[in-house]
Structure 1
Amino acid sequence: MPHSPIPSRTAIAGHPIHPMLIHFPVAALMALVATDFAYIATADEFWARASLWLAGVGALGGWGAGLIGLIDLVSVKQIRRLITAWSHALVAVMALSIVTLNWLLRYQDMLAWVSPWGVTLSVVTALLIALAGILGGQLVYEHGVGVDTDA
């Protein structure tokens, strides 16, 4: 049974803002795993510094995108009624909380926290981000959230 589209309250010319903002944080958080392993393999400080920046970009950008998504979650009744929407938000908040801790630990001492805790937190974050992405895809493709068929 097809669903009618659920428009986003935070959109520009019918284009929802939340999906526009998540690409850079997601890419940063996935790349964070690679730079952590690169530092472990090479002991080159460049990779630890890259990890610090990627964690920061992922955390700050993710929280910004999350705030925009939160507006839709709490202000659009059709979205608020979807268990998938709440699951997506919960998993994303868990991932962002972990990466924020990861970033703050690295900010104190960029080299000391990479192994074993930094890379562990990075991998857990990447897995949670992947799950949040699957749930976000279900919101769009199965429930029509943020889809504007009139434009």
Structure 2
Amino acid sequence: MTTARHPLHPALVHFPVACWSLATIADLASLWLGQPAWWLAGVLLAIGTVTALAAMAAGLYEFARITEGNPGLADARRHMLLAMAAWVLYAASLLLRLQGTTLVAPAWPALATSVAGFLCLGAAGWLGGKLVYQHRIGGT
């Protein structure tokens, strides 16, 4: 009898995806709501950026298990690059709104990198779904 394997990566990605998505929404809302929204966005960016490191480490482990010649390998590479781009963009957005350790109102570069991170995150998520449901990578 074989036991089903449950990879860690799909369980961990929910934290940064939720935090970053809500951060982008809060960033856009801050244009009307001001300080409470941009402060929340900054906190969510910090949490998402830290939790993404664990999700990315688990994803790298899953990536290393894909055999050469697997038809999903190209999509896995694209997924990984888009996820790393999202991390860089969201981390940059966080850094752009920090003065020392204090969150400040984001200027347009911080907002732009947040939105760009969201676009990369969405594309990475779409490819992640394709890896699981079409290529059967990262499942049991």
Task: Identify the residue that residue 47 of structure 1 maps to in structure 2.
Answer: 37
Greater relative CO, 1 or 2 (CA 8 Å, sep 6+): 1
SS at match of 1:85: helix
Shift of 1:53: 0.7
- Mapped pair 1:57 → 2:47: yes
- Mapped pair 1:111 → 2:104: yes
TM-score in terms of structure 2 length: 0.86
SS at match of 2:25: helix
Give distance in 2, aligned partners of 1:103 and 1:97: 10
TM-score in terms of structure 1 length: 0.81
Give distance in 2, aligned partners of 1:101 and 1:119: 10
Give distance in 1, aligned partners of 2:114 and 2:28: 10
Task: Identify the residue that residue 91 of structure 2 maps to in structure 1.
Answer: 100
Task: Identify the residue that residue 128 of structure 1 maps to in structure 2.
Answer: 120
SS at match of 1:24: helix
Give distance in 1, aligned partners of 2:4 and 2:134: 22
- Mapped pair 1:36 → 2:27: yes
Alignment-mate amino acid for residue 121 of structure 1: T
Q: How many residues align?
A: 135
CA contact (8 A) 2:90 2:114 kept: yes
Alignment-mate amino acid for residue 49 of structure 2: A
Task: Identify the residue that residue 20 of structure 1 maps to in structure 2.
Answer: 11
SS at match of 1:15: coil
Shift of 1:60: 1.1
Deviations 1:108-146 (A, max 9, x none): 25334x231121111111111000001001100111012
Give distance in 1, aligned partners of 2:126 and 2:72: 18
Alignment-mate amino acid for residue 59 of structure 1: T
1:18–1:63 distance in 2 versus 1, CA, 3 Å: same
RMSD value over aligned CA atoms?
2.0
